[in-house]
């Protein structure tokens, strides 16, 4: 039974919602450590693209391996924004953005808030998808992502 549960969790990929054990810090928090950081969407995308090819790892939040919300959390931490390690909780941050007004750096959410990524422009986003895959770029208009679209947020 434990083996079956472990296999199901491994194959589920980023669809499993990760519990957050830390209190989320609003993205508007300012501190001496954040002075001078470039928080522009283009800079966020530059950081994210450096990790294309990084392996997926359930619960991962470092360049050794990422899951979806861990990847978003890691990239935004590089520009001084603290986010929880949970896609549904990340959806509470920032403000809603209509799909036709997306800008690079916006967070995009899918599958009842069980998956997310970072919009990079030209109807593409970068994400950590599932076990056996790597951080990669996908198209918003690919069938699965189009059908499972939830929304977007701008931090």
pLDDT in tens, the chain (155 residues): 444 334 334 444 564 444 333 334 444 333 334 445 677 899 999 999 999 999 999 999 999 999 999 999 999 999 999 999 999 999 999 999 999 999 999 999 999 999 999 999 999 999 999 988 999 999 999 999 999 999 999 99
Q: Judging by beta carbons within 10 Å of its beta carbon (0-12, 13-18, 19+), is residue 7 exposed, middle or buried?
A: exposed
Alpha-carbon torsion 131, 114, 19, 39, what sign?
positive
Mind listing the pLDDT tens digit for each residue in 30-67?
Answer: 333 444 567 789 999 999 999 999 999 999 999 999 99
Active site residues: 68, 115, 127
Q: Judging by beta carbons within 10 Å of its beta carbon (0-12, 13-18, 19+), is residue 155 exposed, middle or buried?
A: buried
Q: Where are the domains of the chain?
A: 38-154
The CATH number that domain 38-154 falls under is 3.90.1720.10
Contacts of 147 (CB under 8 A, 6+ apart): none
């Amino acid at each position: 039974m434990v083996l079956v549960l472990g296999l199901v969790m491994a194959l589920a990929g980023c669809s499993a919602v990760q519990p957050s054990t830390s209190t989320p810090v609003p993205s508007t928090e300012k501190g001496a450590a954040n002075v001078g950081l470039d928080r522009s969407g283009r800079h966020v995308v530059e950081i994210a693209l450096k990790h294309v090819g990084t392996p997926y790892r359930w619960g991962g939040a470092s360049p050794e391996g990422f899951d979806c919300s861990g990847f978003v959390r890691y990239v935004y931490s590089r520009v001084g924004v603290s986010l929880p390690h949970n896609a549904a909780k990340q959806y509470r941050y920032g403000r809603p953005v209509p799909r036709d007004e997306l800008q690079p750096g916006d967070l995009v959410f899918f599958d009842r808030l069980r998956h997310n990524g970072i919009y990079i422009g030209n109807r593409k986003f970068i994400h950590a998808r599932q076990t056996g895959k790597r951080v990669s770029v996908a198209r918003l208009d690919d069938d699965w992502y189009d059908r499972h679209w939830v929304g977007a947020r701008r931090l």
